[in-house]
Amino acid sequence: MYWIRGFGHNVAFATPAGFRQGVAERRMWCHRLSHLQIRLQDLLRGRVTCWALQQLNFRSLFPLAIHWHHTASKSLNCVWRQHTDHFGPDGHVTRYDLDWLVKNSYEGQKQKVIQPRILWNAEIYQQAQVPSVDFQSFLETNEGLKNFLQNFLLYGIAFVENVPPTQEHTEKLAERISLIRETIYGRMWYFTSDFSRGDTAYTKLALDRHTDTTYFQEPCGIQVFHCLKHEGTGGRTLLVDGFYAAEQVLQKVPEEFELLSQVPLKHEYIENVGECHNHMIGVGPVLNVYPWNKELYLIRYNNYDRAVINTVPYDVVHRWYTAHRTLTIELRRPENELWVKLKPGRVLFVDNWRVLHGRESFTGYRQLCGCYLTRDDVLNTARLLGLQA
């Protein structure tokens, strides 16, 4: 039996018979249990669904006299012994599976990937031969929808083919997986190169790689593109896996990756065109990582909308520009550029938190429609279909 002191009381861990068979296994569980003891309070708050959690003064019940003992099924039983000055049941037993405790410990979370991904450059993506999904299969079958979402989650881009080239059918397609996020550009946007908005997307000019709505405090999660008509030349769409480029920076110059994930940066959008008057500001680092496992989950990169850097001291600004240049070099490597031609009937979904997009200049008349999707709803749909998201 192992005794570990915690919360001012002794906590007993009785060893199962199997633990006596291997020194290495005993040491492994000793290490895990010593860590689990540190996180016990948090675990109890998140796991126990019993009488104590329903009480308003639950926090005041700590420290409690708790006795742990092992069972043959590799679980831990917690016997609650109430203080005499607190009203409540004595001897209540809460059971925890060891696997659950280890999985939800801090060490377990540090090793867990929230979102599995396949990082890619142009060659990797082309060799993967990622299939598109047919419009009818996408709309009418869970299998088609699941295949689409699996590709999207892994690569950050996915295509649906044979979509009727109308705004209405594009909207129906988007609503299959998510609520449409209404923004200052409306619910569904439909535009040509008439410069009807104060945005370079409404021109025929080439656009460098970027992510959208960096000037939102929470950038839009997913973007949908459908080219309804193009009578002219050019206009290919550029796609770059921002996470692949960031990974190159992390491997080559880790201190610059860290700087890009720490310095808050302001992006700004000011519009005064016709009846459209907007002033949007979003603040956040270029690279956003989860603090517990250092997993990258968002890249905010847009040189068109980047504002003055006045959120850090001058000496940090100088180093930040060096780091930003390193990332830009990776993003602009020709081997990292995937060029695709959007055409009527082919709808592109882009993870705006990961994949940068751009455009080559074009001639003639070109109509596009699309929308932004709420990220939470897309991930919700994926999880309901059994995918890790």
pLDDT value for 93: 78
**Upper half-sphere CA count for residue 268 (Cβ side, 13 Å):** 7
**Mean pLDDT over residues 201-221, rounded?**
91
Higher-pLDDT residue of 209, 23:
209
- pTM surpassing 0.85? no
What Å distances lie between residue 338 and 81, 197, 234, 239, 325, CA to CA? 63, 28, 15, 5, 21
CB 323 within 8 A of CB 312: no
Between 102 and 243, the higher pLDDT residue: 243
Q: pLDDT tens digits, residue range 331-371? A: 999 999 999 999 999 999 999 999 999 999 999 999 999 99
Contact (Cβ atoms closer than 8 angstroms) between residue 65 and residue 83: yes
pLDDT band at 312 (very low <50, low <70, confident <90, very high): confident
The band of 104, judged by pLDDT with boundaries at 50, 70 and 90, is: confident
Does 378 have pLDDT greater than 90? yes
Express each pLDDT in 31-43 by its tens digit: 555 555 555 544 4
The residue type at 361:
S
Report pLDDT for 220.
97
> Confidence band (pLDDT; 50, 70, 90) for 9?
very low
